[in-house]
Amino acid sequence: MIAKQRFVSKTEFVLFAAFSCLAMILFIVFYFTVLSISDSSLAQYKKQYLEDQSYKLAFTIRDKLTEEPLSDLQAERIAASARQFSAEVRYFSPDGETLWFDSFQSGEPFAEPFAVQIPMYVNGQLTGNLHAYYDLSRNTALPFLSELQRNMKRRNNFLFAIFLCLVLGLNYYLARKLAKPLKPVSRSAESIVSGSRDVIVGPKRPAEVAQLVHTINHLVLEFNRQEEWRKQLMQDLTHELRTPLTSVLSRLEALIDGVYPASEENFNKIYAEIDRLYRMVNDMQKLSEAEAARFQLNMRPVNLSQLVNDVYESFLFIAKEKDISFILHPLHAPCIVEADPDRMIQVLSNLISNAFKYSPSGGKVEIGITASDDSITIYCLDNGIGMKKEDLGYIFNRFYRVDKSRSRSSGGLGVGLSIVKALVDAHGGSIEVNSRFGAGSTFVVSIPRIERKHRGKS
């Protein structure tokens, strides 16, 4: 039963059933149209034939007629001729008011009566009016026509049977042809569901199936990316959480066992590790939000020139506190992009905080904005410790810290630049870094203009 239901629900069967139903409807309409035309042509032929027969009948009995009412002998001759032509006749006087002869007898009425009226002339004189009557539903006057009708019906039924078989065969071929591209797609989808995440479906036609294949492949790649991110996140979390938890556990055990005294210093160390755990979880929450930002962005037109100026002003107090020269290179013109302003503030804040963190007291941090036809570019540069060439390929990885000698409390958890990268990618932009060890770093963020996005959509 289940196998039958699966067969019935298959695309090939559904298409075949749909095509067959449509073909049957068209076939029935065509069949009855042909029958109607055939019956109409046959009826017209009958009428023409019977009209010719009526004139032959009139010619046969013309010499037997007079202008006066018919004698019994004349009536008998007319009746015999009428029977010969399988017709019922009535013979009227020249003025058409007096019935001189009537061969109709009591019986079943004609189902499809057909009458032919012929004026009878003898020696140039109108002697009367002959009316010949036939029943088109009977073929008594046309014995050969019954056989012709039967032959035509058999031939039509045979031709229509062949036509029906051809149509059903064509429907089956079209159903298989259209369903064929879906079969490997279906098998690949089943493999994906069963756990084979590395399956990539090849290009198929027609266009709708190709779009479906493209969507499936995109979903598979996106799922794999999310799965890799999840696995990496679990590994990173396990690694990063193990150290502070181990430290806290060891110190607490030492306090309980009396190895360490219950002093303020030991409690502060435990507090510092717990605070570090809290900051780690908080940063991980920010990173998770950034990784999923493309699903949550509140996009609207934003003037990046004004936004950069606002962020700059919010960091002036921190720069003064750290004795860092903080310089803004503004662009005195609107720079409109389609972005989430809160997320862009988060990007700029992380870049500036990172520059402050790795710049010495008395150092310098600069932030500026430039514009081109296609994009708006924001840069942040510092004269801090810089990065080695081998570190540049990893700085956007989660938990990666360039200066591994710095303590976790002062150096951070290494997710700030990961958050920046995720948010910039979510806006369809790009981020680049140029750095020289001991001479500082420059981060460059490019966000596409709103006009370019609209051109891409059109």
Q: 346-382 pLDDT, tens per residue? A: 899 889 988 888 888 888 999 999 988 888 999 999 9
pLDDT at residue 399, rounded to an integer: 62
pLDDT at position 369 is 93
Quick check: 52 and 85 in contact, CB under 8 A? no
Residue 18 has pLDDT above 90, yes or no: no
Q: Given pLDDT bands bounded at 50, 70 and 90, which one contains residue 401?
A: low
Tell whether the model's pLDDT for residue 296 goes beyond 60. yes
392, two tokens:
């540049």
Is the confidence at residue 451, as pLDDT, over 60?
Answer: no
Instruction: For 25-52, give one letter per residue: b (16+ CB within 10 A) or e.
Output: eebeeeeeeeeeeeeeeeeeebeeebee
Rounded distance between C-alpha atoms, residue 16 and residue 205, angstroms: 19
3-state SS, residue 438: coil
Q: How far apart are CA 118 and CA 196, in angstroms?
A: 91
Give pLDDT, residue 102. 83
pLDDT at 158 over 60: yes
Largest CA distance in the chain: 156
- The yes-or-no verdict on residue 458 having pLDDT over 60 is no
Model-level pTM?
Answer: 0.45
The set of residues, in sequence order, having a beta carbon less than 8 Å from that of 290 and lying 6+ positions away, is 343, 346, 418, 419, 422, 423, 426
Distance CA 284, CA 398 (A): 9
Q: What is the dihedral of CA 251, 253, 258, 259, to 10 degrees?
A: -50
Inform me whether the pLDDT recorded for 72 exceeds 70. Answer: yes
Q: How far apart are CA 132 and CA 53, in angstroms?
A: 9
- The better pLDDT of the pair 194, 58 is held by 58
Per-chain mean pLDDT for the chain: 77
Whether the link from the prior residue into 206 is cis, omega within 30° of 0, is yes
Beta strands in 372-416 (DSSP E): 375-382
Asked if 146 contacts 121 with a C-beta cutoff of 8 angstroms, the reply is: no
Which of 418, 447, 423 shows the shortest CA–CA distance to 290?
423
CA 225 to chain centre: 24
Confidence of residue 409 (pLDDT cuts 50, 70, 90): very low
Q: What are phi and psi of 430, to 5 degrees?
A: -145, 155
Percent of the chain with pLDDT over 70: 76
457: pLDDT confidence band, cut at 50, 70 and 90?
very low
- Domains of the chain are 7-174 (3.30.450.20), 193-295 (1.10.287.130), 297-457 (3.30.565.10)
pLDDT at 160 over 90: no
pLDDT at 83: 81
Task: Provide, rounded to the nearest whole percent, the portion of the chain with pLDDT above 90.
Answer: 9
Q: What does the pLDDT read at residue 443?
A: 92
pLDDT score of 454:
44
pLDDT tens figures, 316-345: 888 888 899 999 998 888 888 888 888 899
Whole-number pLDDT of residue 36:
82
pLDDT at 380: 93
- Res 192: pLDDT: 67
Structure confidence by residue, pLDDT tens digits, 222-262:
777 777 767 766 776 676 677 678 878 887 888 888 777 88
**324 or 111, which is more confident?**
324
| 125 φ/ψ angles, rounded to the nearest 5 degrees | -110, 135
**Angstrom distance (rounded) from CA 223 to CA 71:** 108
